[in-house]
Each structure stands twice: as structure tokens, then as C-alpha cells.
Amino acid sequence: MMMAVSFERYGRLYYLDPGAYSPTIGDKVLVPTDSGPEVAQCVWAPQWVSEDIDGLPVCAGLATGDDLARDEENRRRRAEGRLAARRLIREHRLPMKITAVDFVGSENVFIVYFSAPHRVDFRALVRDLGGRLKGRVGPCGRDLCCATFLKDFEPVSVRMAKDQDLPVNPLRIAGACGRLMCCLKYEHPLYQDFRKDAPPLGASVTSPAGPGTVVGHNVPSDTVVVKLAADGRAHACPKASVCGSRQAYESMHGKRGKAAQEDV
């Protein structure tokens, strides 16, 4: 037996084993999650399927009046968190966009998901957001790496944080165990490879938009930021476009490479 539920109207479907329950379409049911049972709506009533599917979470029952009241409060708090986060991002002038906000009522914790073109220093944002919402803002909503998939613990050094332009602050780069976070090692090779042939800060280069000075690196997007000599604009361009010859770059990327440039 299998059923499907959705947490939002017209939202993504999640599949459950109905267990001992037989909800109908439109019924509110309880779905087990890491932070406790959450309310969702049945959009596909339990039915037999031709294939054996193991490992589905089991429906935790039909939602009661108390469950619905708690769910409504959580939704209100999530909306409050989303609005506060957007306002504070504008106040702090941070280049990031909120994609979702979750609220764990049992722990009074907000988890903010966002996208950004590069690393963002949001320490002041987290502090102000926690004060405005009167709750804690979680730094990460995922399970600990050491408790899920890591088997061998390789050494992690402060140099890895410095190479990734992260603040060398033990409170920011230490894990729950008090040691440096294992994830500092994940992207470190990418930063090492980038810096092997990237022009250093302050270097004079010729970019697709004209000559200028390197004022920033964006390792995840493999780009450098050049301050143009002509008008002082900051221009982001592929690292390859300022490292090799102009002819070699244009022969490889052509007009598509030029179209990929963007001003910041």
C-alpha cells in the first residue's frame, strides 16, 4: 500500500506507507520528520501498487485539532521569519535571496535557506534576525557529517579556512564536537586549483571589457572581479579570459563566452 501527501497546495508530493490508517483525499495526516510529526494533506488515497516499495515512512495518524492549531502557528511563524529575513537582507545590503524558511516549534529554531552568487558574511544578519524573531537561527539544517556518512576523519587545519577566505573564528568554524568542521576540507582542493593560475589581487590584467585591476575572486563560479581602468566599474569575468591570451580565449568560447560576462 502507498499514499501521497503534500505539505503545500499544489506542492511536491511525498509518498507514505499508510500503515493502519485509511485517509481519503483532502484529509490532514501526520508525516514523521526529523523534528517530529508534521501536518500534510492527503492527495492520493492509499492503494495497492504493483511493485514492492520498501523504506517508505509510515503515516503517523490523522491530524487532530491540536495538530492543526500547531501547524497553523508554525505556518504563521515561517511567514514571519521569511518577511523579517527579507527586510534585514535589504537593510544589510547582502547579495543573497531567501528561498525558504522553516520553523521547528519544539526548539524555537528558524532555519533559513538562501541562494547567493558567492560566499556571504551573514553573521550580523543572523544576530539581528534571532533578536527580531526571538528565536534561534540554525546555521545548518542538515545532520552532522560524522553521524551520517563519514567513516575516516582526515585532519582539518586553520589554513583551509584561510584559503577559503573564511573568518578564522573558532565559534564560526568549529563543529558540535569543538574541533574544526569536517566540511572545511570538502571545497579546499577547489580553492587550491583556482589559485594555481588565477591572477592575484592587485594584478593588472586585460579583461574582455578592457584593462583593469583584479579586486576579487569567486572560486565556485571560476570567475575574477576586475576593476576597469576606464570607468572604475567592477566587472566579473571567467578566470580563463584574463589568464591566457585574448585570441586563445575567444577561439575557445567565441561570442557565447562574451555573452556570459556580467557587470556587478
Q: What is the pLDDT of residue 262?
A: 44
Domain ranges of the chain: 2-63, 74-140, 142-197, 200-263
Quick one: which of 34, 2, 38, 39 has its CA closest to 17? 2
Is there a contact between 129 and 88 (Cβ–Cβ < 8 Å)? yes
Q: What is the pLDDT of residue 127?
A: 85
Per residue in 184-235, pLDDT (tens digit) is: 888 889 888 888 888 888 888 888 888 999 998 888 778 889 999 988 888 8
pLDDT in tens, the chain (264 residues): 899 999 888 778 889 999 999 999 999 999 988 778 899 999 999 998 877 677 788 999 999 999 999 999 999 999 999 999 999 999 998 888 888 888 887 778 888 888 888 767 777 888 898 888 888 776 555 567 777 788 777 888 888 888 888 777 666 677 767 788 888 888 889 888 888 888 888 888 888 888 999 998 888 778 889 999 988 888 888 888 886 544 444 554 554 444 444 444
Angle at 200 between CA 160 and CA 235, to 5 degrees: 110
Q: What is the pLDDT of residue 172?
A: 65
Domain 74-140: CATH class, spelled out? alpha beta
Residues 6 or more apart whose CB falls under 8 angstroms from that of 65 comprise none
Q: What is the pLDDT of residue 245?
A: 44
Separation of alpha carbons 214 and 225, rounded Å: 6
Q: Is 15 left (phi over 0), alpha (psi -120 to 50) or beta?
A: beta
Q: Is the pTM above the cut of 0.85?
A: no
